Amino acid sequence: MAKSANRNPTSFDVARLAGVSRSAVSRAFTPGGTISPETREKVTKAASELGYRVNSLARGLQQRHSGIVGLVASRLDTPLRSRQVRLLSEALIREGFKPMLITAERPDDVSTLIESLLGYRIAGMILTSDSPTRALIEDCKRLGLPVVLVNRAGVTNWGDRVVADNETGGQLAAKVLIDSGAMHLGCLVPKRKTYSVSGRSDAFLEAAAQLGILPEVFYAEDQSYDDARAGINAADRAILNRVDGLFCATDLMALGALDALRLDLGMAVPDQIQVLGFDDIEQASWASYNLSTIRQDIVSQAEIVVRLLIERIADGTLVNRVERQPLTPVLRGTTRHDG
Amino acid sequence: MAKSANRNPTSFDVARLAGVSRSAVSRAFTPGGTISPETREKVTKAASELGYRVNSLARGLQQRHSGIVGLVASRLDTPLRSRQVRLLSEALIREGFKPMLITAERPDDVSTLIESLLGYRIAGMILTSDSPTRALIEDCKRLGLPVVLVNRAGVTNWGDRVVADNETGGQLAAKVLIDSGAMHLGCLVPKRKTYSVSGRSDAFLEAAAQLGILPEVFYAEDQSYDDARAGINAADRAILNRVDGLFCATDLMALGALDALRLDLGMAVPDQIQVLGFDDIEQASWASYNLSTIRQDIVSQAEIVVRLLIERIADGTLVNRVERQPLTPVLRGTTRHDG
DNA sequence: TTGAAAGCGCTAACAA
DNA sequence: TTGTTAGCGCTTTCAA
């Protein structure tokens, strides 16, 4: 033990100690490797003695792809997103991939970052961000790099997609509110719309229109709790007072709206005005809110995303697929129910 | 454009097109590279024409380390943790590193995962997880791998640490409650204690003892909203009724406790019982809770963590450092204030 | 400032 | 089943 603590041992060192060739070492560490039990035994023994570990960089270089998958997400500290990322990351790891996390808010950041990701010869990429530069996806296409988009528009003809069925969700929202007695609908949306938000709110407005109702639209600066609360507080009181059923584009916004209505404006929910969210984040079920909402099943979402990615990695010629996920209403305390 | 869309272009291809050597290409893409403006110009032109991108795997192999930093976190979908991870990840990216995210709940998972991280010859590792197998850190030590522990005990003599000053925090909590008139203190803790939780609650109990007060201790199964709420609901009512100042080990628990006290048990907060949390997560400021708490500054925390990491990467001989972060009380609506 | 040449540590054909 | 050999794409001395 005089020295030796310095450089990482290589397959060469292991081979020498075990009295075999470097290929044997490689095979011993390759899942389906064609190697005899005895040789494997010798190798693993020598390896653990030396503290040997396969160098994934070298392996990746040789195999022309690392086991890394890019995971791109904005607003990671938001309840829905953090849960998505956790589930995706766990699913990836379970399948033997290593998620490389890119968190960035400004689109141009994201571009250069993803750009640098590509240098790692990643096996694929999952985009949950709201801002996927189109050019970037084109880049991936040129490289033949598998991409899965989560709750995003398919801006190009590249990449599989997993999306909540926002259209049906918006219709569902209108139906829930109307069925529980709302006559004058409202809809709270952020000024800067994302794919999810537009899909939902547009479908909601359209479904209402079909029934001869023209909802009031309220705006929040962005889709945060604070902005939603401020948005409702800034709304025209006369108009707001007419509304008896408010659909919010996300749960986070619904919670902000709820606090504005009840605590800032002193309105009774659900008696005076019903409130309905979308997503079913954890906080929606907290006793102080007990928010009715439309649930997105993000556990199965993560599984589908990773499955699509794996299939695409296995066969790059697949036609682009779109998986639409069903949504289910979760009626809690901010809507009225008869029976 | 007949073919060529297939393999990734290499520095060789770029060199040929630019009419220079591969070394020149390498230098053009190396920040401090000693190369003439004209050559660089030729190289970058050829490179962008070919869509060339440095292969980070090969570069890492050659330089014996990738720009990857392991980021280990459990319970990522929790408000505090998701914010920490966002900030850490952004700070790492800003410094040119790529965060590889390991999310895992069970300790043995984590071990094998980190084990596989090491194969990427990562530049360092940040551990925020509650469960850092000791053997693992020993491994890092043998490898000389820089490690920064966030809010964790220093189980071995390896790794720099950034910790909230939990001891002072616990004392602060006792002082806040007592100063605002509480006479009979309570403390809500999870059954399975972590470094942070123990530090706080032990210091709280001790500070109270110094003043001749022996707080009641309430237990939650784990440190989630639901468990905290259930824990308070399961508490002995007679004992609970005596308590007029409750310190909760984390904000998340405090919110659960608050809902249990107010909504499940019908107690008046802060008039009948004051509640104080710890961390200052976003939800603490939501109007329905308006929770008084002890704030941990996790923005500066992330910066310190990354700074320590960089310094350690630059100089592996540094003595282990511990940065204690100050805490500040944030008094909102769940404690009483005179002036 | 530039190019030639020698690896970084591994896997995959191929031959034995 | 095993070993030999030839790269994977890059950086980095060393000379020029």
pLDDT of residue A6: 60
Tell me the C-alpha distance between A121 and B56, whole Å: 8
Q: Is A338 within the bounds of a domain? A: no
Q: A 82-101 residues with CB below 8 A of B?
A: 82-83, 85-86, 89-90, 93, 98-101
Q: Is B320 within the bounds of a domain? A: yes
- Whether any strand D atom is under 7 angstroms from the Cβ of B65: the reply reads no
Do the chains contact at B51 and A142, CB–CB below 8 Å? yes
Same domain for B83 and B183, yes or no, is: no
Please report residues of B whose CB lies closer than 8 A to that of A78.
82
Among B207, B202, B167, B132, CA closest to B324:
B167
Q: Mapped to the 3 state alphabet, what secondary structure does chain A carry?
A: CCCCCCCCCCHHHHHHHHCCCHHHHHHHCCCCCCCCHHHHHHHHHHHHHHCCCCCHHHHHHHHCCCCEEEEEECCCCCHHHHHHHHHHHHHHHHCCCEEEEEECCCHHHHHHHHHHHHCCCCCEEEECCCCCCHHHHHHHHHHCCCEEEECCCCCCCCCEEEEECHHHHHHHHHHHHHHCCCCCEEEEEECCCCHHHHHHHHHHHHHHHHCCCCCEEEEECCCCHHHHHHHHHCCCHHHHHHCCEEEECCHHHHHHHHHHHHHHCCCCCCCCCEEEEEECCHHHHCCCCCCEEEEECHHHHHHHHHHHHHHHHHCCCCCCCEEEECEEEECCCCCCCCC
Burial A165-175 (b: 16+ CB within 10 A, else e): bbbbbbbbbbe
Q: Is A332 within the bounds of a domain? A: no
Do the chains contact at B61 and A56, CB–CB below 8 Å? no
pLDDT of residue B3: 35
How far apart are the CA of B211 and the nearest CA of chain A, in angstroms? 35
pLDDT of residue A138: 85
Same domain for B153 and B215, yes or no, is: no
Considering CB atoms only, which of A57, A78, A287 is closest to B263? A287
Same domain for A174 and A283, yes or no, is: yes
Percent of chain A beyond pLDDT 90? 81
For the stretch A28-69, pLDDT in tens is 999 888 899 999 999 999 999 999 999 999 999 999 889 999
Q: Is B338 within the bounds of a domain? A: no
Q: Which residue is nearest to nucleotide C3 (CA to C1')?
A: B21
Same domain for B41 and B72, yes or no, is: no
Distance of B274 CA from D11 C1′ (whole Å): 63
How does the average pLDDT of chain A come out, rounded?
92
Asked if residue A168 has pLDDT above 50, the reply is: yes
Please report residues of A whose CB lies closer than 8 A to that of B54.
119
How confident is residue A17, by pLDDT bands cut at 50, 70 and 90? very high
Burial group, residue A236, by CB count within 10 angstroms (0-12, 13-18, 19+): exposed
What six digits make up the tokens of A321?
């697929």
CB distance from A267 to chain B under 8 Å? Answer: no
Q: From the alpha carbon of A34, which nucleotide's C1' atom is closest?
A: D1
Q: Is A335 within the bounds of a domain? A: no
Q: Which chain B residue has the Cα nearest residue A86?
A: B76
Same domain for A100 and A201, yes or no, is: no
From residue A36, alpha-carbon distances to A33, A135, A162, B42, B136 in Å are 9, 49, 44, 53, 31
Q: What average pLDDT does this structure show over A291-304?
A: 97
For chain B of 339 residues, list the mean pLDDT of each consecutive stretch of 10. 59 95 95 90 95 95 93 95 97 94 84 89 90 80 91 89 93 96 96 92 96 96 97 97 97 98 97 98 98 97 97 88 95 87
Q: Is A339 within the bounds of a domain? A: no
What six digits make up the tokens of B320?
């282990």
Chain pair A-B, CB pairs under 8 angstroms: 152
pLDDT of residue B82: 97
Q: From the alpha carbon of A38, which nucleotide's C1' atom is closest?
A: D1
CATH at B144 = 3.40.50.2300
For the stretch A176-205, pLDDT in tens is 999 999 999 999 999 998 999 999 999 999
pLDDT of residue A174: 97
Q: Which chain B residue has the Cα nearest residue A113?
A: B93
CATH at A35 = 1.10.260.40
Same domain for B113 and B232, yes or no, is: no
pLDDT of residue B243: 97
Tell me the C-alpha distance between A159 and A110, whole Å: 18
Same domain for B288 and B303, yes or no, is: no
Asked if residue A332 has pLDDT above 50, the reply is: yes
Q: Is B217 within the bounds of a domain? A: yes
Report the Cα–Cα distance between both ends of chain A, in Å, rounded.
77
pLDDT of residue B6: 60
Q: Which domain holds residue A71?
A: 65-164+298-326
pLDDT of residue A23: 94
Q: Is B4 within the bounds of a domain? A: no
Same domain for A213 and A156, yes or no, is: no
Same domain for A150 and A225, yes or no, is: no
Q: Show the beta-strand stretches assigned E in B165-252.
A: 185-190, 216-220, 245-248
Q: A 274-293 residues with CB below 8 A of B?
A: 282-283, 286-289
Q: What average pLDDT does this structure show over A152-164?
A: 90
For the stretch A223-269, pLDDT in tens is 999 999 999 999 999 999 999 999 999 999 999 999 999 999 999 99
Considering CB atoms only, which of B85, B102, B121 is closest to A55? B121
How confident is residue A4, by pLDDT bands cut at 50, 70 and 90? very low
Asked if residue A157 has pLDDT above 90, the reply is: no
CB distance from A4 to chain B under 8 Å? Answer: no
Same domain for A27 and A144, yes or no, is: no
- Whether any strand D atom is under 7 angstroms from the Cβ of B58: the reply reads yes
CB distance from B71 to chain A under 8 Å? Answer: yes
Same domain for A275 and A308, yes or no, is: no
Tally the domains of chain A.
3
Same domain for A71 and A138, yes or no, is: yes
How confident is residue A296, by pLDDT bands cut at 50, 70 and 90? very high
